[in-house]
């Protein structure tokens, strides 16, 4: 008689759900990294424009050039704010996905632990059955003498 785990299908389902959650987490992490990289690039652009503005003020330039740089900075600030919101949403999705993976992993672990306990019980039962058979054989041999 071989060991069969009655909840094997449930365990497979939980493992499948865990794998799907891991894939979603991976995708959410990628989305967050893209959004964060975009935000970083915008912040770098803004910093360069602010340096150019300060440099232009120090050296002297036309007012129209200063206004152009100031308008570019203002436009970048609105892009940065939008990008920051996108990054925050992506971070929240990533964190939600991470917690879902943790829950799914815990579920799988529970079923694996139950399976381990059932397997251990099965092996113990097999040992007891074999010991009983040996006792029966020994008793029969003794009675034949």
User: Which residues of the chain register pLDDT less than 70?
Assistant: 1
Structure tokens at 87: 């990054």
Q: Residue 1: its pLDDT value, please?
A: 66
The helix-helix angle for 63-144 and 8-59 (nearest 10°) equals 160
Closest-CA residue to 135 (of 125, 143, 121) = 143
Where does the chain show beta strands of DSSP type E? none
The two three-digit tokens of residue 16, written as one number: 């499948």
pTM over 0.85: no
**pLDDT given at position 38:** 96
């Amino acid at each position: 008689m071989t060991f069969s785990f009655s909840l094997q299908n449930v365990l497979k389902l939980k493992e499948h759900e865990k794998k799907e959650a891991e894939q979603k987490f991976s995708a959410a992490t990628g989305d967050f990294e893209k959004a964060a990289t975009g935000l970083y690039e915008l912040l770098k652009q803004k910093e360069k424009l602010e340096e150019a503005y300060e440099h232009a003020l120090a050296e002297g330039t036309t007012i129209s050039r200063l206004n152009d740089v100031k308008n570019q900075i203002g436009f970048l600030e609105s892009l940065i704010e939008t990008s920051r919101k996108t990054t925050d949403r992506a971070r929240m999705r990533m964190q939600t996905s991470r917690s879902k993976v943790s829950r799914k992993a815990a579920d799988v672990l529970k079923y694996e632990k139950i399976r381990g306990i059932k397997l251990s019980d099965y092996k113990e039962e097999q040992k007891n059955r074999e010991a009983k058979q040996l006792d029966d054989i020994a008793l029969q041999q003794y009675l034949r003498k």
